[in-house]
């Protein structure tokens, strides 16, 4: 029999206990904020007069927030759903390098098919920020599963509450996503070549954002890696 | 073709496409063993992407300027991270700081 102990679901559950309390609480808080952003997507869809199944299917089967906002936005202005899907796919191309980077965390005969689906900015981020393999894996799965649940729940709730919910911006929730990204990549940036690459890449993305279709500037940031090479 | 069918096709295309991208990344990573040099490059690549997302979502909302409140909120978070404040507190204070600035009328 093959040794699959490291990839067994029950093992993942017991690994979660190894995460620091700060990490676990932060993951839950981020998921809470995610569900509020989901509510704004749901209420947006309702205000455009779209049927509930549209944002709900997106949130369950796509599970990538930015692409879903773009899709709903396209439909709202009467754009073609196929063009909307292509614009969304452009944003989601970043999951290819993400997948390569976190592949060790999602192996397992069956769990890899599920593990690939819960790959998103937050799960990759929390996964990569942990100190060792076991906590990396636990953080990736815990965050991924919590986002998978909180996002569609938020979308559905937002759809029914409709325009009565306040803008997430009122509570400053839009600052949370960049804040956790910065907090959790901070340690990796202590490495000089990583810092050079990240600085160059972020500058490239920032300059190109006003001119290019969304998704492209993020991919262009990878050119920053050229600046991080060791001579 | 009617609109509803087109929307179903659009969602199907986006969902299947996104899943394929995710799985292809995983598969490529799992299939090939990369030398240490490339592993460093890949891990740097993910960090570069995450940083670029952080910076663009700080300054932009789509293609429009995101406003000063968010920039100050995220800047405050950066200061707290540098001072080694626990993550949960960083998250809460970044949101609270941004909300406070908006309450004061800074957008």
The whole-number pLDDT of residue A228 equals: 80
Q: Residue holding tokens 């209420």? A: A43
Under 8 Å between Cβ of A54 and A42: no
Q: Please give the residue of chain B at the shortest CA–CA distance from A94.
A: B49
Which of A62, A67, A178 comes nearest B58 by C-beta?
A178
The DSSP secondary-structure symbol of A164 reads G
Tens place of pLDDT per residue across chain A (231 aa):
344 555 566 666 777 888 888 899 999 999 998 998 899 889 889 888 899 999 999 999 999 988 999 899 888 888 889 989 998 999 899 999 999 999 999 988 888 999 999 999 999 999 999 999 989 999 999 999 999 999 999 999 999 987 777 788 888 888 988 998 899 899 889 999 999 999 999 999 999 999 998 889 999 999 999 988 765
Task: Spell out which residues of chain B touch residue A90, defining contact as CB-CB under 8 Å.
Answer: none
Whole-angstrom distance, CA of residue A127 vs CA of residue A19:
11
Q: Cβ neighbours of residue A154 under 8 Å, at least 6 residues apart?
A: A34, A35, A36, A37, A38, A39, A41, A42
Contact B18 A67 (CB under 8 A): yes
Q: Where would I find the H helices in chain A?
A: 9-16, 21-47, 53-57, 65-76, 81-92, 95-102, 111-117, 121-129, 133-161, 176-185, 192-208, 216-220
**Residues in chain B with pLDDT < 70?**
1
Whole-angstrom distance, CA of residue A171 vs CA of residue B49:
27
* Tokens (6 digits) for A197: 């690459």
Which of B9, B24, B102 comes nearest A96 by C-beta?
B24
Under 8 Å between Cβ of A151 and A59: yes
Q: Please give the residue of chain B at the shortest CA–CA distance from A76.
A: B7
Contact B25 A97 (CB under 8 A): yes
The whole-number pLDDT of residue B32 equals: 86
Task: Spell out which residues of chain A touch residue B88, defining contact as CB-CB under 8 Å.
Answer: 22, 25-26, 29
User: What is A72-86 written as a DSSP string?
Assistant: HHHHHTT--HHHHHH
Residue A230: burial class (beta carbons within 10 Å; 0-12, 13-18, 19+) = exposed
Q: Cβ neighbours of residue A225 under 8 Å, at least 6 residues apart?
A: A197, A201, B41, B44, B45, B48
Contact A170 B99 (CB under 8 A): yes
Residue A27: burial class (beta carbons within 10 Å; 0-12, 13-18, 19+) = buried
The whole-number pLDDT of residue A3 equals: 45
Whole-angstrom distance, CA of residue B68 vs CA of residue B98:
9
Phi and psi at residue A60, in whole multiples of 5°? -85, -45
């Amino acid at each position: 029999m093959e040794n699959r102990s490291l990839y067994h679901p029950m093992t993942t559950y017991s690994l979660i206990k190894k995460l620091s309390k700060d990490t676990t609480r932060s993951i839950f808080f981020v998921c809470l904020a995610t569900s509020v952003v989901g509510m704004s997507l749901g209420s947006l869809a309702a205000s455009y007069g779209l049927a509930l199944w549209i944002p709900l299917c997106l949130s369950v089967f796509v599970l990538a927030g930015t692409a879903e906002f773009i899709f709903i936005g396209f439909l709202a202005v009467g754009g073609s759903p196929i063009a909307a899907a292509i614009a969304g796919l452009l944003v989601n191309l970043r999951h290819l390098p993400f997948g390569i980077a976190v592949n060790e965390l999602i192996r397992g005969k069956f769990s890899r098919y599920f593990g690939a689906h819960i790959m998103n900015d937050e799960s990759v981020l929390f996964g990569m920020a942990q100190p060792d393999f076991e906590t990396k894996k636990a953080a990736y799965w815990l965050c991924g599963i919590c986002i998978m649940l909180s996002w569609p729940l938020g979308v559905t709730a937002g759809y029914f509450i409709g325009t009565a919910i306040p803008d997430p911006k009122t509570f400053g929730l839009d600052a949370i996503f960049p804040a956790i990204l910065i907090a959790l990549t901070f340690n990796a940036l202590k490495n000089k070549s990583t810092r050079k690459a990240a600085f160059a890449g972020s500058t490239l993305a920032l300059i190109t954002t006003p001119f290019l279709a969304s998704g492209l500037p993020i991919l262009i940031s990878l050119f920053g890696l050229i600046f991080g090479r060791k001579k | 073709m009617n609109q509803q069918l087109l929307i179903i096709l659009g969602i199907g295309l986006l969902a299947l496409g996104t899943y394929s991208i995710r799985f292809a990344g995983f598969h490529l990573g799992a299939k090939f063993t990369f030398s240490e040099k490339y592993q460093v490059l890949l891990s740097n690549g993910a960090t570069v992407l995450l940083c670029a997302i952080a910076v663009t979502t700080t300054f932009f909302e789509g293609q429009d300027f995101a406003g000063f409140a968010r920039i100050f909120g995220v800047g405050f978070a950066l200061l707290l991270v540098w001072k080694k404040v626990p993550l949960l507190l960083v998250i809460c204070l970044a949101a609270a700081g941004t909300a406070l600035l908006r309450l004061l009328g800074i957008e």
